[in-house]
Structure formats: structure tokens, C-alpha cells
Amino acid sequence: MSRKVMVELETTIEDNGQKERSNTMQQGVFHHKQNMDVLTFEEQTEDGQQINNMITIQQGKVSIKRSGVVSMHQQFRLNQTTENVFRHPHGNIHMETYTDEVYYRPINDEQSGRLTIDYTVKLNGQTERKHALQLTYKDQEEDSQ
């Protein structure tokens, strides 16, 4: 099953009492197959370069794969630490991710889908920072004109 959706992704990073928020809204595609849900969408950087995003949601784990001008494969497993390398034009960053909480409600005909993840990240072994990811996706409204 596939359906076109509007994806809203909001991330919050807390570092020494300072909060940094980013928000993106994109058209995407939601796929459901067997025991997994997959969301795909593209985003553009400020200088017009493309980043492809694929979020895979399965029982007990979530995976975010980004490719294009930046690349990474970040995995979230409840109460576990995972590692990956974030590659971007200015170099590579080693990431350690510890997942504190994952909540997922799949989309259905009555309500939007929602994924929230609370986690901490250490970049290149530095002090960990708290992160919160909130992803909402809903059926794309058909143009009624």
C-alpha cells in the first residue's frame, strides 16, 4: 500500500539550556509492507542541493537514511546506543545515538501518522546533547479546483 502524504518534520536540539529548532514540510510517499512502514521525501538545502530521506519504522527500531549532498544512516533502538557517520561536504562526523523514547502511531483514514523520538547524540565523542524528533504525516489534500 502506498499513499501520497504531507510530511512535517520538527527537530529540537538542547545544548546547555539553549534550544535550536528546525522544521521542514515536504510532500512524500508513505509505504506499508508486511511489518514495516516507510516514509520517503526529498528536501532542498538553502543553496538548492537535494537530500533524499527514507524513514523506516519497524517494531523496536526506527531507521533514518539520508543521501545526496549529505549522507547518514541513523538507527534508533529503545534504550540502546547506535553509531553512524554523518557525511557532508565539510567532512565526516561520528555520531553516537542513545534512544530514550519512541512513540509511533501509523496513519489511518481517521488520523494522521505520528512518530516521536527522544534521544541523545554525541558528535565526535563530545558532550552529549538532547534531541527530540517529531514527525507527522497526513494524506495529501487533493486540489479541489
Here the cell at position 46 is 538553502
CATH topology of domain 2-16+23-137: Lipocalin (2.40.128)
pTM: 0.91
- DSSP assignments along 42-108, one per residue: EEE-TTS-EEEEEEEEETTEEEEEEEESSBEEEEEEBT-EEEEEEEETTEEEEEEEEEEEEEEE---
Q: Could you report the per-residue pLDDT of 35-82, keeping only the tens digit for each?
A: 999 999 999 888 889 999 999 999 989 999 999 999 999 999 999 999
What is the distance between the terminal CA atoms of the chain, rounded to a whole angstrom? 27
pLDDT at 143 over 60: no
- Element (H or E) spanning 140, and its range? none
Task: Give the pLDDT score at 145.
Answer: 39
Q: What is the mean pLDDT of residues 14-28?
A: 93
